[in-house]
Chain A
Amino acid sequence: KAGVTQTPRYLIKTRGQQVTLSCSPISGHRSVSWYQQTPGQGLQFLFEYFSETQRNKGNFPGRFSGRQFSNSRSEMNVSTLELGDSALYLCASSTGLAGGPGGSDTQYFGPGTRLTVL
């Protein structure tokens, strides 16, 4: 089974621009989560989508948005880029069907997209 794929792997943008990152989950997985990883803040949750609906959102400004398509592929968009948005953006997929209060499903991570803002 193919793993989680993320495109592009590397991006260089300038301040004020916008960027769109893409994530293709493992076949059959309906949940896609996004995380930002920086040396200072570590791994921080951005949002999770399940069956095209945002199920949870982290504490990030509205410049960060996402969506999920009917085939479970997901995109995240960052508008008006700032220097502090430079980070590794990780996508993770899971079945999303573990049930209960959530948080017990195994997340499978992609290799990430390294975004550099100049």
Chain B
Amino acid sequence: AQSVTQLDSQVPVFEEAPVELRCNYSSSVSVYLFWYVQYPNQGLQLLLKYLSGSTLVKGINGFEAEFNKSQTSFHLRKPSVHISDTAEYFCAVGDQGGSEKLVFGKGTKLTVNP
């Protein structure tokens, strides 16, 4: 069974600083990986996804992630954050059990301070 571990439950940073949100996955097969963002009182919005090909994936709002198969990681990065990036971020893996089920990590709460 696939699983996802987000190593930090909370990450506080100052505005314009770089940030990295860490995600490790466990899977015995090739994986599909996703990062979603959830703003307060809203649903989830896709930031980016890795299906195959280039290991560096660029997403919306200046975010990018790097797939590292040897370290089973898919860390999310942004070189300079804004106050508006304050939200909860979820890493997920596609289940590959014949449906569109996603297995999510517990989430990382990113707080950007002025």
CB pair B46–A102 under 8 Å, yes or no, is no
A interface size (C-beta, 8 A): 31
Nearest A residue (CB) for B92: A43
CB pair B43–A103 under 8 Å, yes or no, is no
Residue B114 CB within 8 A of the other chain = no
B interface size (C-beta, 8 A): 27
CB pair B101–A33 under 8 Å, yes or no, is yes
Residue A74 CB within 8 A of the other chain = no
CB pair A105–B43 under 8 Å, yes or no, is no
CB pair A90–B43 under 8 Å, yes or no, is yes
Give 25 A-B contacts (CB < 8 Å), ordered by A residue: A4-B43, A33-B99, A35-B104, A42-B104, A42-B107, A48-B100, A55-B100, A56-B99, A56-B101, A90-B44, A92-B43, A96-B100, A100-B96, A101-B98, A103-B96, A103-B100, A104-B32, A104-B94, A107-B44, A107-B46, A109-B36, A109-B45, A111-B42, A111-B43, A112-B43
Binding site for B on A (CB under 8 A): 4, 31, 33, 35, 42-45, 48, 50, 55-56, 58, 90, 92, 94, 96, 98, 100-112
